[in-house]
Chains A and B, each alone.
Chain A
Amino acid sequence: MPAKQLMFVGAAALLMACSPSPDRRAEPMELRGQVLPEPLARPDFTLLDTSERPFDFGLETRGRLTLLFFGYTYCPDICPLHMANIAQVLSQMAPSDAGRVEVVFVTTDPERDTPQRLRSWLDAFDRRFVGLTGTRAAIDSAQLALGIRPGFRETEGDNYSVAHAAVVFAFTGDDLAHVVYPFGIRQADWAADLPQLLSGPWAGH
């Protein structure tokens, strides 16, 4: 191999090895989530967190990869599976990366999901997960802002169930949700997508 070519290969290798953080912005992404035809803006709404303090979603999560889900703690099937999958994948990521992912769970059942109950339910998955509640009107308008039908109580009696959207929204650093994760998404899918969402073209600054 001519010396000039060798030097070029060497320089390229050095460049790749020394690059402080791999910039994936130019690389095409291969996402397992469902890419939206039109991205959604990170919504602005204020609800109460599990310490019963106001939580301004737009402000508190701005610029951060945020997984937003609307569900309820008496949900037997879809909600705990989404939360468990996300928690498991975060626990296997480097702590420095996992720490850059916010998970926000908004109850669609504020009558039963007290802040205390939300906290203990979320703690079963990950103590860092944010739980939000509020008035039915405030919770409904947060969902309407994202174009989903608000969750609603659908049966009578004490052990009623709540119909709700089964989709997790992923807001990236650019404060848009380009991709959502419907029910059926698996841990392997999150593990493939989260690093791309943290550092890809939508990661923002």
Chain B
Amino acid sequence: MGRALIAAALLAGAFACTESAGLTVADAYSPLPPTADVAAVYLVIRNPTGRSDTLIEVAAPSAQRAELHRQVTRDGMMFHMERVEALPVPARDSVSLGPGGLHVMLFGIAQRPAAGDTVDLILRFRYAGAVPIAVLVKPRSEIGR
């Protein structure tokens, strides 16, 4: 019984977040994309360790290309999108990717996903290495309530 409980707890932990050397990626989702051409992925990177890390690469096996982007605005009116080559994740801090800010952009998804599907994504960090995650595709109506 004790062992089963521990196993269950471990399993629950594995589902709750994807962990690699203390750094975790959580709450990964993508609003259901209107087409298969582009999709945005949002998530939270938590770095509870004492060492700053850097996100250096994003990859999605089901997409032709994946890039990290940031929306930039000076006046709150005109928005520009710029590519982010490296995203620092400071020690004992977290970085959120969210609408109007940072996102992982997927280009050319093999098949347009449906709400409830998951899309595989791999985040590569300088120290934590590759962190594979499953991105949940959410109905768009749930995003900007």
Contacts and interface: CB of A to CB of B under 8 A. Distances in A.
A159 B73 contact: no
Interface residues of B, number: 29
A199 B26 CA distance: 44
Contacts of B103: 76-77
A164 B78 contact: yes
Contacts of B99: 77-78, 81
A45 interface: no
A73 B78 contact: no
B78 A149 contact: yes
Given A74-B37, A76-B40, A159-B65, A165 B77 contact: yes
A101 to B, nearest CB: 17
B38 interface: yes
Nearest to A92: B141
Interface stretch (B13-21, B27-35, B86-94): B27-35
Interface string B25-61: 0000001011101111000000000000000000000
Interface string A117-139: 00011001100000000000000
Interface string A170-192: 00000000000011111110000
Interface string B88-116: 00000000000110010101000000000
Contacts of A154: 80-81
Contact of A88 (B37, B39, B81, B141): B141
Q: Which of B33, B34, B78 has the most CB of A within 10 A?
A: B34
Nearest to A154: B80
A149 B35 CA distance: 27
Interface residues on A, range: 20 to 34
Contacts of A78: 71, 79, 99-100
Contacts of A163: 78-81
B76 interface: yes
A63 interface: no
B145 interface: yes
A73 to B, nearest CB: 7
Contacts, number: 93
Interface in B103-145: 103, 105, 107, 140-141, 143-145
A155 B39 CA distance: 18
Contacts of B37: 73-74
A75 B80 CA distance: 11
Interface in A59-84: 73-78, 80-81, 84
A121 B112 CA distance: 13
Contact of B145 (A80, A87, A148, A188): A188
A87 B32 CA distance: 14
B140 A166 contact: no
B144 A121 contact: no
Interface of B: 31, 33-35, 37-40, 65, 69, 71, 73, 76-81, 83, 99-100, 103, 105, 107, 140-141, 143-145
Given A164-B78, A166-B73, A166-B77, 16 more contacts: A73-B35, A76-B103, A78-B71, A81-B100, A81-B143, A84-B31, A85-B144, A121-B34, A155-B81, A159-B65, A161-B69, A163-B78, A163-B81, A165-B79, A166-B100, A183-B73
